[in-house]
Amino acid sequence: MLLLSIFISLALATDILLALSLSWPWWLAILMFIVFIIGYVVVYALLCWLFAIFIPKNDERPPRKFYTTITRITCHFLITIFNLKIIVIGKEQLKKIPAFLFISNHQSYFDPICQIGCYGRDDLTFIMKDNILKVPLIGNWLCSAGHLPLDRENNRNAIITIQKSVRRIDQGYPIGAYPEGTRSKSKKLGEFKDGLFKVAVKAKQPIVVTIIDNAYRLKSRFPWRRTKILLKVCRVIEYEEYQNMNTHQISAMVREIIVKELELARKEYLWLQ
């Protein structure tokens, strides 16, 4: 909301100044107001790209406060633009733990945007598909903010990402992952990839189990209707609880928690059905 307010204020000031100076008719002033908003958004995107382009994508330094803060602000902006209403439950639990493996189901491209924007952890970064981080501008920025690429077609590269994730948690930062590996695009929960849970086993830190629901409906509702999305921190699994389990057992336990929490939420909130 802050970023949108800034864009609107700048566009309005520019529009009024030029409209009075050039004696624009009312319809042209309205049209140019919209053009100015779009223009400021483009300028903002280009500035972000310039800040990110000089940082190598394989840089292993921890998330930088500047980039993670701007990322969170931008996520809030996108949440407003796409007319989302986010219901957040249990986010206070995340403030009590410095470093953890953040696990969630995965319904849409907007999942990390909602979770970064609304959980109140600027330092939360994600393990993402490597093709997302290859996108010009967006990829540069996400890498600069500390997000890590996962190459599912190359086991060696995947192991390197797991090792980087463990080091990130050892440095005191949370890292997020989607064990389904890809978007479900529906309310259905996909099968989990056990390998991601090696991060928790090696880092010996808590696993924070969360759910996101109704995000899959955004594509069919935008721009005509508002989309309500549920975010919930379901459970924090301490290392002592899973230290004697293998990754398959941990994966099965976490998936069971998510299945039950989604079922409970859909019974409690009619708009999720």
- Express each pLDDT in 179-234 by its tens digit: 998 899 999 999 999 999 999 999 999 999 999 999 999 989 888 899 999 999 99
> Looking at the domain assignment, is residue 13 inside a domain?
no
> Looking at the domain assignment, is residue 22 inside a domain?
no
Which structural domain, as residue segments, surrounds residue 145?
55-272
What count of residues does the chain have? 273
Residues 219, 225, 227, CA angle at the centre, nearest 5°? 65
Tokens coding 191? 């099968």
> Looking at the domain assignment, is residue 138 inside a domain?
yes
pLDDT at position 102 over 80:
yes
In a 13 Å sphere around the CA of 189, the CA atoms on its Cβ side amount to 20
pLDDT at position 56 over 70:
no
> Looking at the domain assignment, is residue 7 inside a domain?
no
At residue 60 the predicted structure's pLDDT band, cuts being 50, 70 and 90, is low
- Express each pLDDT in 110-139 by its tens digit: 999 999 999 989 899 999 888 877 777 777
What pLDDT does residue 1 have? 62
The total domain count for the chain is 1
At residue 6 the predicted structure's pLDDT band, cuts being 50, 70 and 90, is confident
Q: What is the mean pLDDT of the chain?
A: 89
> Looking at the domain assignment, is residue 20 inside a domain?
no
pLDDT at position 68 over 80:
yes
| 133-143 as b/e: b if 16+ CB within 10 A | beeeeebbbbb
Q: Which residue has the higher pLDDT, 145 or 262?
A: 262
> Looking at the domain assignment, is residue 19 inside a domain?
no
What pLDDT does residue 58 have? 61
What pLDDT does residue 158 have? 82
Residue 179 and residue 256 in contact, taking contact as beta carbons nearer than 8 Å: no
> Looking at the domain assignment, is residue 74 inside a domain?
yes
Chain centre to alpha carbon of residue 168: 17
Give the span between the Cα atoms of 144 and 80, in whole angstroms.
Answer: 24
What pLDDT does residue 59 have? 59
> Looking at the domain assignment, is residue 258 inside a domain?
yes
Q: Other CB atoms closer than 10 Å to residue 245's CB: what's the count?
A: 15
CATH at residue 154:
3.40.1130.10
Residue 195 and residue 248 in contact, taking contact as beta carbons nearer than 8 Å: no
The whole model's pTM is what? 0.88
